[in-house]
Structure 1
Amino acid sequence: MKDSEKEIISTLKYVSHMKPEFRLSEIKNYITCDMSVEQIYSTIRPFLYELGIDASPEGEDFRIKLAPSATAMELTEEEIKKSELFFMSAVVSAKLQTIIEQYISKKTAKKWDDPLVLDRIRKAVVGQKNAYWKEGSSRKISYEKGYNVLGYLAYQFPVYFVQFQHMLYGMAQAGILKTRMRILDVGTGPGTVPLAIADFYKRLEGRKADIYSVELYDENIEAFNSIVPQYVSDPITLHEPIRSDVREIKPEILPENIDLMVFSNVLNEIKDITTEQKADMVLKLAQRLASDGSILVIEPADRANSVELRRLSIALRGAGLGIYAPCSFIWGAGCSLEECWSFEQKQDITPTLLMRKLAECDEPYRYVNTDIKYSYFIVRKDSLTKECYKVPPRARFARFSKMGTHKDKRINVVCSLMSSDLGDEKYSLYKLCDGTSRKAVYAVLPWHNVTEDNSLIKRAKYGEVLEIYNVLVNYNKEKDAFNLLLSKGSTVSRIGEERDD
């Protein structure tokens, strides 16, 4: 920090302790350097969050006052309405699409939609997809070349951008976000998570976020510095990315009291590292987490990454962190399922103009990516869980660990819904979990058996705890799994709801 910056920050601290509210121009009388109000504001802006100070424009000046203490974020009706409208036809905003297109033009020294540029981006997209599906040591996903980053911005970015906003919205509704947030994005790439946060906060009023990020590749950092600052607005304080390998981050270089730590689609890309080593890495960084902060890990929904994600969450639980969501241990027992493939699914996004341009070729399906499917977990240092329900003593529900003893019988169960509909037009299929499973358990609802009493399963949210009555237990030998068949006499209800016996 320059001497002039130190003087301004020191003066700001002094005046803010003397006056609860004042205009920024007033501190010009206390400093020796000759600077305009705008120049002073540019100097102090990166430090406002840390200082606990808010600055709001007031003509050609700024009104300075001490910030209120952080409280749990409660969305207003208007904020909920704006978010719901966005998700109904989610798309990367026109402004952000233009910023990305301009970056491509700057990076390639050609128009972003030049046929040669588009063809090279297509090759980068195909190369990344091929590398992604490889296994073992041959699987290497890298962003060391410029066109790799452009391929990511064209193909993966739009989905991940909207996907993360779904997570933010859910966490805000659950009450685990704050009115003032310090956020760390580990493996930020070209800034997908900060951009998603900025977009989400544009629909909120009076909320603040202080964003730090970590990234290894120079090409990603270059893209970040060219794109993100242009899109992030005043409610958010953005810090330049910390250049580091995720595996080698030293906790002491990170800020303290982080409210939200994010690993978005990054841990699966680290090769030659075990689940236990990943857990150790997350635990090391968790030293900087606030006592009531959350760690969010998101991965793609394919079987391999989803299963690995669940194993990581269990490893972190064994190391002392509590799982907030989506898993619920309603019987108070630890999960023993070896392979849990569970994911969330949301409405498709609208493709960007860049994506549509890439699709103007002989194989358009290769370059259109609009599906939102992802696996995630949230862990915390405290014991808070999204679903607090515990099965009461002597409750008349069968544990999933005992399914083998109930084969071909009708039973009642209480469990979490762990997928959207995985079936087809004739049969709806849902993954279920009660925290005791030794084999996968699914609910099967034939279309001709749908009734008002059992149709809730088609509307319930991912991770929600349900009571399911009068289902027939079938064993699927081919899949080594149990199916719970819902008939017209079956009922589905939320825990605690009254039902007619």
Structure 2
Amino acid sequence: MIDREAVRTNAKYLRNIRPIDPNEIYEYIEDRPHPAVVRETLREEAFDLGLRERADGTFVPAPTDPIPDPMWQPDVVPRRYDDVIADHLVDQFGPEWYRGDSGMTLRSTIRRLKMDYYQQNPVEYDQTVALGYAIYHFADYYAAIGYILDDLLEQGCLSQTLRILDVGAGAGGPAVGIHDYLPESSLVEYHAVEPSAGVNILTDILGKTRRNFRTTVHRKSAESFNPTSIESIDDERPFDLILFANVLNELDDPYVVAKQYLSAITSDGSFIGLAPADKHTSINLRHIERMLTGGSSTNVTSEHNDEYVRSDIVNDLPAATASDEDIDATVYAPTLRLWSRKTPSDRGWSFDRCPMITAPPTQQRLDDAPRTVDASETAVSEQATGNSETAGDGTFRNETVQFSYTIIRRDGTTRAPVSANPQRHATMEAMETHVTNRIDLLAVKLSHDLTESHTQHSDQHRRGQSYPSAGASGNDNPVFKIGDGSQTTDHYAVVTVRDTLTKSLFTAEYGAVLSFENVLCLWNDDKGAYNLVVDDSSVVDIIA
């Protein structure tokens, strides 16, 4: 067995003198192990030593410069990843996997997946389900994670050396999204927790990553894996970034599990929760966020009934117990708390909407393939979705990048260190005292225009319908959800005049902090929400 401490000692001594060459330092180690053994030991110790391997096989210090902005806006998934999924489909079903009975099986599997998520049914991930999930969701989650990392980049919260834990890594869309977001010079120790039958897809996807993105897959459930079991030289909390992508909504007790993993984040690390934009999963994510950060839980009542979501689904959210007082965590983004010592208690449904991503070839083939008439596939689709399907109609092309997310940190850092001024700004928790008055306030933009047609931005291929314009009043006035961290019910900015003084509301990104001046406060009894009317007497500016 090689003397690891001797390897480490030599590496520490040489790191600031010259590149560390296994062909050199093996001579300084007892029993003179083979250079290949020394090289593999250096790879295993590289993260804790802060070393990255060069193409020539030598090791040099990893850079400490901030990560440059990658200008993330992918319009396609790199073909090398989709080819891995295609290879698994061929292995499972043959070269024409998208045709005949196998194509019908995969389409039925995807329909069932969407319906199960919509109705909050448990999902069992066998190999066919894992392949269906990879076909349908790999691309949108690949894109989504980069837009979330953009928030961390704003405050310099992403270093070039990262230890990452991806809980419920699935087919690996977020994993390689992170990989492609980070620069070539970065040094990453990536751990995935994934117990399902799709782990072989994940392993092969991770095989496409570069040499200094070292990966380990733990075939355990989120509940059974101990995140503190990963050793860390400098910190008892080993991870810089922990990600739950479309996982928390599948756990029996997501708060307890999330809290356990939150304790494994470094003092300046980040916890990311990512969920589908659907009402239940989005609200549930916000519910968990508020418990983890010491706030009250989301109170979802029949006042917020929505024709697109059954009331029993909404009311089945897990009951929240009082949050633990010892949780040292705060919201970094997007739902900023603009008032100190105040927390929101509205339902919390909000989601970001980013540029569409082109359906990868596997999606296109499955969508374009002829339906099997004698198997009554059309009848099955009508029963599942209420709509008939035809080949190439887009039903199985998931090009919409639309998601809910939270970033939680332990060091108190926020994406925008902005606070409201009680001498100037109205609080949303006291909005009932301002009805019919004009007021000034600070608020976070928590949606894009909710009145835009589904042909422009909606999740039409997933659900066959656009998301409802929750704050609209039966007209075409643009509507944006907003919040200040004190709200007890939903608030919407309703724009009646679009001019140079109000255009910031349209151009601001999701999560931006906005200043509203001289807006009219009205109560919308039909929607059980406040409308802040932005008209020709109002001014909207971007603060951060």
TM normalised by structure 1 equals 0.86
Structure 2 residue identity aligned to 1:296 = I
| 2:403 aligned counterpart, secondary structure | strand
8 Å CA contact 1:110–1:117 kept in 2: the answer is no
After superposition, residues 362-381 of structure 1 pair within 5 angstroms as: 362=390, 364-381=393-410
Higher helix content, 1 or 2? 1
1:242 & 1:340 partners in 2: Cα distance? 33
Match of 2:168 in 1: 187
Structure 2 residue identity aligned to 1:419 = S
Structure 2 residue identity aligned to 1:27 = I
Encode CA deviations 1:407-442: one digit per residue, 9 max, x unaligned. Answer: 222222211111111114732110011122122110
Structure 2 residue identity aligned to 1:418 = L
8 Å CA contact 1:412–1:468 kept in 2: the answer is yes
8 Å CA contact 1:333–1:436 kept in 2: the answer is no
Among residues 503, 508, 529, which one is paired with 1:481 in the alignment? 529
After superposition, residues 287-436 of structure 1 pair within 5 angstroms as: 287-318=263-294, 319=324, 320=327, 321-360=329-368, 361=370, 362=390, 364-395=393-424, 397-424=425-452, 426-436=476-486
User: RMSD value over aligned CA atoms?
Assistant: 2.3
Among residues 71, 75, 85, which one is paired with 1:90 in the alignment? 75
| 1:365 aligned counterpart, secondary structure | coil
Pair 1:470–1:214, CA change in 2 (3 A): same
For residue 34 of structure 1, report the CA deviation from its aligned partner.
7.4
Structure 2 residue identity aligned to 1:221 = V
8 Å CA contact 1:16–1:66 kept in 2: the answer is no
8 Å CA contact 2:282–2:351 kept in 1: the answer is yes
Deviates more, 1:437-446 or 1:258-267: 437-446
Pair 1:485–1:478, CA change in 2 (3 A): same
8 Å CA contact 1:11–1:27 kept in 2: the answer is no
1:468 & 1:252 partners in 2: Cα distance? 45
For residue 133 of structure 1, report the CA deviation from its aligned partner.
1.6
1:199 & 1:369 partners in 2: Cα distance? 21
Encode CA deviations 1:74-121: one digit per residue, 9 max, x unaligned. Answer: 41xxx54xx34xx1x521112222222122223335455554433322
Pair 1:453–1:120, CA change in 2 (3 A): same
For residue 261 of structure 1, report the CA deviation from its aligned partner.
0.6
Encode CA deviations 1:247-306: one digit per residue, 9 max, x unaligned. Answer: 222244234421001111101122xx3xxx422222222222111111011111111111
Indicate whether 1:453 and 2:501 are aligned.
yes
8 Å CA contact 1:328–1:434 kept in 2: the answer is yes
Deviates more, 1:369-378 or 1:26-35: 26-35
Indicate whether 1:238 and 2:218 are aligned.
no
Indicate whether 1:225 and 2:206 are aligned.
no
1:296 & 1:334 partners in 2: Cα distance? 22
For residue 370 of structure 1, report the CA deviation from its aligned partner.
1.1
Deviates more, 1:44-53 or 1:318-327: 44-53
1:372 & 1:471 partners in 2: Cα distance? 32
1:44 & 1:114 partners in 2: Cα distance? 48
Runs of at least 5 residues in structure 2 that lack an aligned partner in the other structure: 233-237, 295-323, 371-389, 454-475
For residue 401 of structure 1, report the CA deviation from its aligned partner.
2.0
Match of 1:133 in 2: 118
**Percent of aligned pairs with the same amino acid:** 24
1:340 & 1:307 partners in 2: Cα distance? 5
8 Å CA contact 1:49–1:237 kept in 2: the answer is no
8 Å CA contact 1:473–1:483 kept in 2: the answer is yes
| 2:536 aligned counterpart, secondary structure | strand
8 Å CA contact 1:453–1:491 kept in 2: the answer is yes
Runs of at least 5 residues in structure 1 that lack an aligned partner in the other structure: 497-501
2:412 & 2:14 partners in 1: Cα distance? 40
Aligned length: 460
Structure 2 residue identity aligned to 1:225 = T
After superposition, residues 246-261 of structure 1 pair within 5 angstroms as: 246-256=222-232, 257-261=238-242
1:336 & 1:181 partners in 2: Cα distance? 32
Encode CA deviations 1:47-98: one digit per residue, 9 max, x unaligned. Answer: 321332222123xxx2223445x56x341xxx54xx34xx1x5211122222
Pair 1:365–1:199, CA change in 2 (3 A): same
8 Å CA contact 2:279–2:349 kept in 1: the answer is yes
For residue 494 of structure 1, report the CA deviation from its aligned partner.
2.5
Deviates more, 1:10-19 or 1:259-268: 10-19
1:376 & 1:25 partners in 2: Cα distance? 47
Match of 2:463 in 1: none
Encode CA deviations 1:3-40: one digit per residue, 9 max, x unaligned. Answer: 3xx34x45532431342323222134356577565x75
Indicate whether 1:121 and 2:106 are aligned.
yes
| 2:263 aligned counterpart, secondary structure | helix
For residue 389 of structure 1, report the CA deviation from its aligned partner.
1.3
1:206 & 1:35 partners in 2: Cα distance? 28
Indicate whether 1:442 and 2:502 are aligned.
no
Structure 2 residue identity aligned to 1:222 = N
Match of 1:171 in 2: 152
Pair 1:34–1:235, CA change in 2 (3 A): closer
| 2:158 aligned counterpart, secondary structure | coil
8 Å CA contact 1:414–1:434 kept in 2: the answer is yes
For residue 235 of structure 1, report the CA deviation from its aligned partner.
2.9
Encode CA deviations 1:211-236: one digit per residue, 9 max, x unaligned. Answer: 0111122x12222222221x111231
Indicate whether 1:19 and 2:14 are aligned.
yes
For residue 162 of structure 1, report the CA deviation from its aligned partner.
0.9
1:153 & 1:486 partners in 2: Cα distance? 43
Structure 2 residue identity aligned to 1:477 = D
For residue 338 of structure 1, report the CA deviation from its aligned partner.
3.6
1:195 & 1:205 partners in 2: Cα distance? 13
TM normalised by structure 2 equals 0.79
8 Å CA contact 1:126–1:366 kept in 2: the answer is no
8 Å CA contact 1:325–1:378 kept in 2: the answer is yes
8 Å CA contact 2:154–2:415 kept in 1: the answer is no
Match of 1:499 in 2: none
Pair 1:36–1:12, CA change in 2 (3 A): closer
After superposition, residues 266-285 of structure 1 pair within 5 angstroms as: 266-270=247-251, 273=252, 277-285=253-261
